[in-house]
């Protein structure tokens, strides 16, 4: 149940209303893959509200990220995370 409480807390923090004045809305979720299925409903809610949700699985055991996030990436190590984020931001901002 701890995972569920954490997911609910995150959902409150990343409420779609926080993006009301923004033209394009994107949330990037960085996860180790644990409990990712518990966030699936929240991802669907955000997407239904017009928010693009990108999932980044870091490390081993992040196969579940592909099931939950339509737009997903894998970063083998945390040290590779800046490169992954740069790639995502470049694609989102420049459409490359």
- Cα–Cα separations (whole angstroms), residue 47 to 21, 80, 86: 17, 27, 22
pLDDT tens for residues 57-75? 998 888 888 888 989 999 9
Buried b or exposed e, range 32-61, using 16+ CB within 10 angstroms = ebeebebbeebbeebbeeebebbbbbbeee
pLDDT in the model for residue 89 = 87
Q: For residue 17, what are the domain limits?
A: 2-94
pLDDT in the model for residue 12 = 54
Cα Dmax for the chain: 40
Q: What is the CATH number of the domain that holds 19?
A: 3.40.50
pTM > 0.85: no
User: Considering its fold, how many domains does the chain have in total?
Assistant: 1
């Amino acid at each position: 149940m701890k995972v569920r409480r954490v997911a609910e807390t995150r959902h409150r923090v990343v409420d779609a209303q926080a993006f009301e004045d923004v033209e394009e809305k994107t949330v990037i979720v960085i996860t180790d893959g644990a409990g990712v299925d518990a966030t699936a409903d929240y991802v669907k809610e955000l997407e239904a509200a017009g928010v693009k949700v990108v999932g980044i699985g870091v490390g081993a055991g992040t196969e579940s990220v592909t099931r939950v996030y339509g737009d997903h990436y894998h970063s083998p190590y945390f040290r590779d995370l800046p490169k992954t984020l740069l790639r995502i931001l470049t694609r989102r901002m420049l459409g490359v």
